[in-house]
Chain A
Amino acid sequence: MNQADFLQRMEENKGILYKIANAYCRNAGDREDLIQEMIYELWKSGERFDDHFKFSTWMYRIALNVAISFYRKASRSGLRVDFEASLSPDLEAGLSLEVQTQADSGEELEERIALLQRFIGELGEMDKALMILYLEEKPYREIAEILGITETNVATKLSRIRDRLKQQFLTAGHGDAGLQKNKIL
């Protein structure tokens, strides 16, 4: 993959990096480093990229692997911050690699997105990866390929995580009715 191809593909898929970085790294300061590290590893691995492979599968694998490793690195140096404490600034993060929300969004929608992010943040490292891939609407077969587990396992685990998340939404007072009210359903 040459530089131009790489840049173009990164430009097209950079949303993936932002979302994974947001899910795994709640500290705004560290998130820029995480995205840089993902891009670095993608570029480094690009030389070995096999065109028979699906690009997104390859990209998700590298981004998730870097994010999971980075999470531990941040924890080790005590940089990981409490999720609750960093939740609001995250939605308005001002980074050089910025992830900003638009100001005109509804307050309740913001709240639900924040809740979803919080629940994802509370998941284990592997469950979090699984949930992100599911939310990205990846087919089970591709999720299984990215994570290295069977499709049956993907289906079973997803079902459990979704049930748990639904329960958490209900407990937080945001059931299906609330979602419909906000025209999300």
Chain B
Amino acid sequence: MSTDEFQKLWKAYDAKLEKTSQMNQRLFSDLQQQKTKSVLQGLVATRVFGIVIGGMYLALLVLALRYVWSQPVMAVSIGVFIGCTVLAMVAYIRDIVVVRGLSYADSVVAAQEKLAGLRSSIIGILRFSWIQLPFWATFFVSNALLRNGGPRFLAIEIPIVLFLVAVAIFLFRNITVANAQKKRWVAGMIRGSGAKSVSRAIELLKEIEDFKKEA
């Protein structure tokens, strides 16, 4: 590889850099006290927080399920909430396993692909969480309400449930990594879920995809 003008300019820039920092013992005591907070630690912390909160929510749901066991509609609804919460927790645990196995000493493409994948995994969790939407309209339907509600109750309840089923299917199909870049409302929902870095991660995934392509 021949040295060209950019490399010469870069050398001139290198010569002008004054590197005053000393790699000394103080640096080591800082490192050992872990004053530096790594990005990976941050990722693990959010997942651990999610698992702890999810665990508490799950415990409440299991208690509720025991209480409403004899009420089929309520039991099925709470069962779906439990299923979705377990799925989210499994996804978070999987993320932690991936972070533990991630090494910055891997090639840049491999490490960044994993990292960006982790950051965009929230999309999958968000997507599945919408499956439970129709059950928010059924979890309070007790046997007594079914017996005594009559046609008026069913005339209100059934259209609402059908509407929420349609919304859930629509959201499940549309909340995808690809749509997060194409559709503004999907991007808005992802940002709203607290994962502000997701859109950057998606951009990077796309960039990596292009980068790997042989011209």
A interface with B by C-beta (< 8 Å): 3, 7-8, 10-11, 14-15, 18-19, 33, 35-37, 39-41, 43, 45, 48-49, 58, 61-62, 64-66, 68-70, 72-73, 75-76, 96-102, 105, 109, 112-113, 116-117, 124-127, 129, 134-137, 139-140, 145-150, 152-153, 156-157, 160, 162, 165, 176, 179, 184-185
Contact = CB atoms under 8 A, between A and B. Distances in A.
B1 A64 contact: no
Nearest to A50: B105
Given A36-B36, A100-B18, A137-B3, A66 B13 contact: no
B8 interface: yes
B23 A11 contact: yes
B199 to A, nearest CB: 9
A79 to B, nearest CB: 12
Contacts, number: 179
Question: Main secondary structure on chain B at its contact with chain A?
Answer: helix
B19 A137 contact: no
Given A112-B9, A137-B7, A184-B8, A65 B27 contact: no
Given A61-B106, A116-B13, A126-B108, 9 more contacts: A36-B35, A39-B36, A61-B105, A68-B204, A70-B39, A72-B197, A157-B215, A162-B4, A184-B8
A126 to B, nearest CB: 4
A19 B17 contact: yes
A62 B13 contact: no
16 contacts: A37-B36, A43-B31, A65-B111, A68-B108, A76-B197, A116-B10, A126-B108, A126-B109, A145-B107, A147-B107, A148-B107, A153-B213, A153-B215, A156-B215, A157-B211, A185-B8
Interface size class of B (residues with CB under 8 A): 35 or more
Given A7-B24, A147-B107, A19 B207 contact: no
